[in-house]
Amino acid sequence: MTATLRTFAQRLIQISSHLTPWRTLPITATMDSSVRSQYLADNPPTVVRLEIAPHFASLSAKQKRYAHHLSRAAFLGTRVTLAQVSPESPVIYDLILSLHAATSGDYKALAKKTQVSDEDVAFWLEYATQFLGNAGNYKGFGDSKFIPRISPAALKKLAAVDQNSSSLFEKAENTGGGIYETKDAALMHLGYPEAGHLTAYYPDSPTITKEEISIVGDVLEEKKLLIENTRLRKLPSGDFDLLIASGVTNPPASERDLGDISSLDLTGKLAGKKLNLVFGDYQDEMAKIALEFKKARKDAANEIEEKMLDEYARTFSTGSIQGFVESQRWWIKNKKPTVETDIGFVETYRDPQGVRGEWEGFVAMVNQERTRAFGKLVDAAPSMIPKLPWDKAFEKDKFLSPDFTSLEVLTFAGSGIPAGINIPNYDFIRQNEGFKNVSLGNVLSAKAPNEPIPFVRKEDDHLYRKYRDPAFEVQVGIHELLGHGCGKLLQETAPGEFNFDSKNPPTSPITNKPIESWYKPGQTWSSVFGSIASSYEECRAECVAMALACDFEILQIFGFGDGKEDISNEAGDVLYVSYLQMARAGVAALEYWDPKSRKWGQAHMQARYSILRVFLDAGGDFCQIKSPNGDAKEPDDLVIHLDRSKILSHGRPAVEAYLQKLHIYKATADFAAGKKLYDDITSVDEWWAEKARPLVLKRKTPRKVFVQANTVLDEATGDVKLVEYEPTLEGMVQSYFERNV
Ligand code: ZN
């Protein structure tokens, strides 16, 4: 299933951009202070450490060097990401580092020396931390600008600590939109210049239009040139420069994707104008990055990795996007490596045109223990899937496990860290050669110390904290492998040919009558279910997880209990927390429901809300949401009461009844029934919208910012050391200072 965690990130961006208030503001409005205050940096941001030490320690010296060079390659692109966000971001980045250097990271000394209050210094560090976590002054999730809480006057005083900081401060105020500027509402969001928004993908081109961008795109598409690694500049003459990221400014024709062509004639409205191919965008960074790939090659694990690294070095050195495509082909072939990586201009969400990629790169390692558990789960599939509420007519003859790996991230450079990744994005590779679907374990499990857990009873808090990670692991494992992996689509594969007995069609367990619908030739799951397909399928997979998590043999695979049903032992604890976690996610999901459009913007969260509704309707007071003030109509908080003793008697049957419908409607292409079911159960009534949702928004914490380790290579011995940092504001800045990119 390609409905993935990466799509998760994508959808979050979609929802946040239609939830954000700018669309309701007149573009030219001058904002009053209350509007301005919504753009202030998080106070404080949620800072967590990306825990990696034990996984890094398990690598060999050679693997550590490989991981080190690739981490350097990824992080060396930090300034590229900054430049892709806004013109002022690279300057603000330098200001952050310069202020850190001024008193060697001693912020108390900095406050004293400059006579700036500790509170103002803390405001600066909060901003710096959020800035570094987003690689720029626009949020990686949501694309809206944020500004420091420290006043411009106080920051100016702070920057007066030395000449370098002082001049960087002036520059930060006057470059691009400026660090503090908020007066133009449209510029507070990334988007087309034509609509007044900010973009750095079309530099120095204030008059460039969407139409011009499209014409240039069409001309390049005709030449079969992919453009993820480019920016586009409109010149005063009306000609255009295609800026191609490369470590050299003049690659030989033999190494260029378009050979000796140095400019192209534009067409349509731009007929008579030229498009020049200009190499060397981000030249310094690209040259250094290409070099790290060459160094990493010495420590590659096999020939496939060597070839993959050669192509990476080629694309970043010469600007050949074909080199990147080839790197991805080798990447697909490099099955389940110990050290996994992918680096480049990958995701195109932030280019308003959606065609140019943002720099990102990760290096991660396989979690061996979890991989073993997942492997056993796949092995158990033939005995587990028959326990689901349908017979074999609605199941594949042979279980095929989807591609899924759980990784622990060492390095993630870019504007934010997703919970999972499903790449490459090139459909021509996905369909013919495949893709990889990975979940990022230490990103999912990262949490701030003593982070409050809203909506959970005090009595459950301890158990919840203790088992939420294993419970989530069980849920993710079943969801990804058995959930998305199970089920059959009943199809008429060609006119008159069926993949089921069409003369004697299977009986629907819902109606107890022979099925009457199936996929007609040419129809697919997504063509029939359309816009609800993604969330509906996530829901089906989540329900499989909730049904099979009740199986004590599965809990034993993950190391809990002895395989015998016993709700009171540790396996029962994990099961209880799984249900509690799902109910909690269902409540928290309301954040992703937009009251204006009355629509859900996030596939997984919509699914979880529906499962909570199933719990609430399971009978026997199995699951209830209570308010501490005892007033259900006007609650002052939401507290989940879940009866552990009724999970097997009430919870599981209710989930299975729901799952059965989801599954059979999917299997039989019964869109009408599926849509009705899903629309009804994911509808948000007045109480949820007006009473519950505001409480959910009140309890939400700022997005997490991850403090990542650095790796340091001892050139003499070839040993690589891992350097970790405190999960604090200072620790975040220090990690970037020492990274020195
Ligand atoms: Zn899924």
**Which run of H or E residues covers position 102?**
helix 89-102
Quick one: tokens of 667? Answer: 């299997």
pLDDT of the residue at 29:
40
- 630 burial (CB, 10 Å; 0-12 / 13-18 / 19+) is exposed
pLDDT tens figures, 76-85: 999 999 999 9
- Give me the torsion for CA of 63, 69, 73, 76, rounded to 10°: 130
Q: What is the mean pLDDT of residues 462-482?
A: 94
Following DSSP, what letter does each residue of 530-592 receive, concatenated? GGGHHHHHHHHHHHHHHHHTT-HHHHHHTT-S-SS--TTSHHHHHHHHHHHHHHHHHHHGGGG
Residue 38 banded pLDDT, cuts 50, 70, 90: confident
pLDDT at 2 exceeding the cut of 60: no
Quick one: tokens of 228? Answer: 């993820």
pLDDT at 22 exceeding the cut of 60: no
Q: Mapping DSSP to helix (H, G, I), strand (E, B) and coil, where does residue 243 land?
A: strand
Q: Which of 50, 21, 678 is nearest to 408 (CA)?
A: 50
pLDDT tens figures, 292-321: 999 999 999 999 999 999 999 999 999 999
Which sign does the torsion angle of CA 118, 124, 130, 132 carry?
negative
Q: Which of 664, 482, 682, 700 is nearest to 602 (CA)?
A: 682
pLDDT averaged over every residue in the chain: 93
pLDDT of the residue at 448:
85
Residue 7 banded pLDDT, cuts 50, 70, 90: very low
- List the catalytic residues: 480
Judge contact between 102 and 161, C-beta under 8 A: yes
Distance 441 CA to ligand 1 centre (A): 15
Distance 114 CA to ligand 1 centre (A): 52
pTM confidence score: 0.85
Which sign does the torsion angle of CA 197, 201, 202, 203 carry?
positive
pLDDT at 6 exceeding the cut of 80: no
pLDDT at 1 exceeding the cut of 80: no
Q: Which residues pair with 707 in a beta bridge?
A: 49
Residue 34 banded pLDDT, cuts 50, 70, 90: low
pLDDT tens figures, 171-201: 999 999 999 999 899 999 999 999 999 999 9
Residue 611 banded pLDDT, cuts 50, 70, 90: very high
Give the DSSP letter of residue 198.
B
Judge contact between 536 and 529, C-beta under 8 A: yes
Instruction: Classify residue 637 as left (phi > 0), alpha (psi -120 to 50) or beta.
Output: beta
pLDDT at 12 exceeding the cut of 70: no
Q: What is the mean pLDDT of residues 100-129?
A: 98
Distance 401 CA to ligand 1 centre (A): 13
Rounded distance between C-alpha atoms, residue 74 and residue 342, angstroms: 9
pLDDT tens figures, 370-393: 888 899 999 999 999 999 999 999
Percent of the chain surpassing pLDDT 90: 84
pLDDT tens figures, 549-603: 999 999 999 999 999 999 999 999 999 999 999 999 999 999 999 898 899 978 8
pLDDT at 27 exceeding the cut of 50: no
Q: Which of 681, 649, 684 is nearest to 665 (CA)?
A: 681
Q: What is the mean pLDDT of residues 492-503?
A: 96
pLDDT of the residue at 33:
65
Which position has the higher pLDDT, 248 or 523? 248
Q: Which segments of 201-351 are extended strands (E)?
A: 230-234, 240-245, 263-265, 274-281, 339-347
Quick one: tokens of 45? Answer: 């941001």
Rounded distance between C-alpha atoms, residue 68 and residue 74, angstroms: 10
Largest CA distance in the chain: 87
Lowest mean pLDDT among 199-213, 420-434, 517-531, 640-654: 420-434
Q: Which residues pair with 366 in a beta bridge?
A: 407
pLDDT of the residue at 245:
98
Distance 538 CA to ligand 1 centre (A): 5
Q: What is the mean pLDDT of residues 521-550?
A: 93
Distance 11 CA to ligand 1 centre (A): 13
Distance 670 CA to ligand 1 centre (A): 21
Q: What is the mean pLDDT of residues 223-241?
A: 97
pLDDT of the residue at 646:
98
Residue 15 banded pLDDT, cuts 50, 70, 90: very low
pLDDT tens figures, 640-692: 999 999 999 999 999 999 999 999 999 999 999 999 999 999 999 999 999 99
Distance 646 CA to ligand 1 centre (A): 27
Residue 162 banded pLDDT, cuts 50, 70, 90: very high
